[in-house]
Amino acid sequence: MSDSSINYRILELNDSLNAAPQNQDLLNKLGKLYFQYGLFDEAKKYFDKAFNLSPDNLNNLINVAKINFVLNNYKSAKLLFHKIEKIKPDLLEINLFLGHIYLTEGKFEVSEKYFLVLLNSDSTDYNALTGLGFIYQQIGVYDSAEKYWKKIVDHYPTDYQGYFNLGVFYSSIGNINDAVVSLNRAAELNPRNKQIFHNLGVIYLNNNLYREAENTFEKVLEIDKNSPDTYFAMVMLFLNSNKLEFAKEAANNLIKYDYDYPQVHLAASLIYFLDEQFDLAIKHAELEQELNPSSPETYVLLAGIYKVIGDELKSKEIVDQIKQKFDFTLDEISKYQSEILSNNFKIIY
């Protein structure tokens, strides 16, 4: 439908509503038109009007439940879908919505029940297979998770998302070879998806395959130059491969682009520490403390920096803060500090 046709249809429905403002069919038609074109807040206004006129009408209930779901108003959506479930328990699509809602709440057993209803109706149902794969992955039943993720790529071999999910699953359980194979297959199907290449790059980075990681992250930046996650990954890449000047440049560029990016000042502090620019190392560690006061790594790094430059009093003061704030033992703190002093301190990424 062209823009002019949409406008004409909106005007037509509004004219009809002016003549019959309580016509629920017209209200729902206008709501569905706005819904169709992604104007969800506007759609909700008209669905709500119809619902308020007749709150027990099944069609009104379904429309309001769906729009609340789309707008992430899951609490309201759940109540409405359960009401629909009582009125029409054989309505299959409510299982999809309730399965997803309970999944987001972490109520995996309840979510599983709804997705299994969908799967019993259609053994190839994409949403059911995805939901079950995610549930079993989250609860650590990896054989079942793999079974459902693989069913998706078997049933939908041209769907990149299925291979992406399978690759992420394999990566999460340390099956690097199958993760790389699956993610590369996803990239073949969708070569402009930056998230696929980012995840591949992270796998290479975490396994010290720095050249492959750098080449893969560069592909991300070819797709989207404004990708802070990838810029941070490049910082970690250069830091871990001891290319401090490149790491410094990458960190400073990311700070200019996104000053508050999580852990970027921690990374910058570590870079300057390794480069023996201790004033800048302290400056960035303190900035990270301000931005992310719940990060124990920052305190440990700062204590280590002060220890190296000979300020034992300041180092001890921070160590006392660590013990009090994070309930660390002296042995744990000493282990961290040993890693820092031997240049083996790694930021968790």
Let me know whether 109 and 181 are in one domain: yes
Let me know whether 48 and 6 are in one domain: yes
Domain boundary residue, one of 47, 73, 91? 91
Is position 302 within any domain? yes
Is position 237 within any domain? no
Radius of gyration of the chain (CA): 27
Domain boundary residue, one of 47, 76, 91? 91
**Total domains, the chain:** 3
pLDDT of residue 4: 59
Is position 172 within any domain? yes
pLDDT of residue 253: 92
- Closest CA relative to residue 229, chosen from 240, 241, 245, 217: 217
pLDDT of residue 335: 82
Let me know whether 139 and 59 are in one domain: no
Let me know whether 183 and 171 are in one domain: yes
Quote the DSSP letter at residue 224: -
Let me know whether 65 and 107 are in one domain: no
pLDDT digits 0-9 by tens, 281-312: 999 999 999 999 998 889 999 999 999 999 99
Domain boundary residue, one of 157, 174, 191? 191
pLDDT of residue 145: 99
Residue 237: burial class (beta carbons within 10 Å; 0-12, 13-18, 19+): buried
Let me know whether 73 and 139 are in one domain: no
Domain span at residue 266? 262-349
Low-confidence ranges of the chain (pLDDT < 70): 1-4, 340-349
Is position 142 within any domain? yes
Report H helices in 105-209: 108-121, 126-139, 142-155, 160-172, 176-189, 194-206
Is position 182 within any domain? yes
CATH number of the domain where residue 306 is located: 1.25.40
Q: Are 308 and 338 in contact (CB under 8 A)?
A: no
Let me know whether 107 and 184 are in one domain: yes
Is position 203 within any domain? no
Let me know whether 111 and 54 are in one domain: no
Is position 67 within any domain? yes
Residues contacting 337, CB < 8 A, separation 6+:
300, 303, 304, 307
Let me know whether 73 and 105 are in one domain: no
CATH number of the domain where residue 160 is located: 1.25.40.10
pLDDT of residue 13: 92
pLDDT digits 0-9 by tens, 168-193: 999 999 999 999 999 999 999 999 99
Let me know whether 337 and 295 are in one domain: yes
Is position 135 within any domain? yes
Let me know whether 118 and 78 are in one domain: no
Distance (Å) of CA 292 to CA 171, 186, 195, 303: 28, 35, 25, 16
Let me know whether 4 and 68 are in one domain: yes
**CA 29 to chain CA centroid, nearest Å:** 34
